[in-house]
């Protein structure tokens, strides 16, 4: 069985003074992924994140609960507000079987998307997905175009109507100005 790590959440603000933190859930199985005893790998959200070297590489859930539609989690070794603040922003990753797929057919693991060939609705080639970026507002697909430049496509149904993992194709809507090519400046020279 081959496994890969997928992002299942991101640590948010501390809640209280005893080390509890809010978690932005990025899984359809929060009860499983944040069960007591679950061990999650951690990753800094971006290169050059301050204090990244001092952060733990693994965290184990000691308690979790829902509070006003937010998931609150306590991790072993994170016992006060200062320690909770030190882990703020970390991405939480769980190991999954690479042959498995999420239960929801509209959900995808990052490893299923990376490598897909990107085409427009009329099947014109765009490039290839090289990375999935998890941002607070929405996920972005980083697409390497044929000429080598990077295109960031918001991973929303309106812009990505078709994801065909078995055939290795992802369809994007190309009729949005600035989505696949830089928006042209207006004729008077202003932006």
Domain ranges in the chain are 3-97, 110-172
Of 2.30.30.240, 3.30.70.980, 3.40.50.2300, 3.30.1950.10, the CATH number of 110-172 is: 2.30.30.240
Kindly tell me the burial class for residue 104, based on how many C-beta atoms sit within 10 Å of its own C-beta (0-12, 13-18, 19 or more).
exposed
Whether the CB-CB separation of 96 and 4 falls below 8 Å is answered with: yes
Residue 179 CA to residue 153 CA, distance in Å, equals 7
Q: Which residue has the higher pLDDT, 49 or 3?
A: 3
pTM here is: 0.64
pLDDT band, residue 33 (cuts 50/70/90): very high
Average model confidence (pLDDT) across the chain? 86
- Position 122 pLDDT exceeds 70: yes
* Residue 142: closest CA among 134, 127, 153, 156: 153
The pLDDT > 70 percentage for the chain reads 88
Examine domains 3-97 and 110-172 and report if their fold is the same. no
pLDDT (0 to 100) of residue 6: 84
Q: Hey, CA dihedral for 98, 158, 184, 123, is it positive or negative?
A: positive
Q: Tokens 């733990």 identify what position?
A: 56
- Give Cα 58 to chain centroid, integer Å: 18
pLDDT band, residue 186 (cuts 50/70/90): very low
Residue 76 CA to residue 38 CA, distance in Å, equals 11
The class level of CATH for 3-97 reads mainly beta
């Amino acid at each position: 069985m081959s496994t890969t790590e997928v992002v299942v959440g991101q640590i948010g603000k501390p809640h209280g003074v005893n080390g509890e933190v809010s978690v932005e859930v990025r899984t359809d199985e929060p009860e499983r992924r944040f069960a007591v005893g679950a061990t999650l790998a951690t990753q800094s959200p971006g290169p050059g994140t301050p204090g990244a070297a001092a952060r733990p590489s693994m965290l184990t859930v000691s308690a979790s609960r829902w509070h006003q539609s937010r998931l609150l989690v306590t991790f072993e070794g994170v016992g006060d507000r200062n320690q909770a603040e030190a882990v703020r922003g970390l991405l939480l990753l769980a190991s999954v079987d690479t042959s498995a797929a999420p239960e929801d057919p509209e959900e995808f693991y990052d490893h299923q998307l990376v490598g897909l060939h990107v085409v427009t609705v009329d099947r014109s080639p765009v490039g290839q997905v090289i990375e999935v970026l998890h941002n607070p507002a929405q996920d972005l697909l980083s697409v390497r175009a044929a000429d080598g430049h990077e295109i960031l496509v918001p991973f929303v149904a309106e812009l990505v109507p078709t994801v065909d993992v078995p055939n290795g194709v992802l369809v994007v809507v190309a009729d949005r100005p600035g989505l696949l090519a830089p928006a042209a400046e207006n004729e008077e020279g202003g932006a």
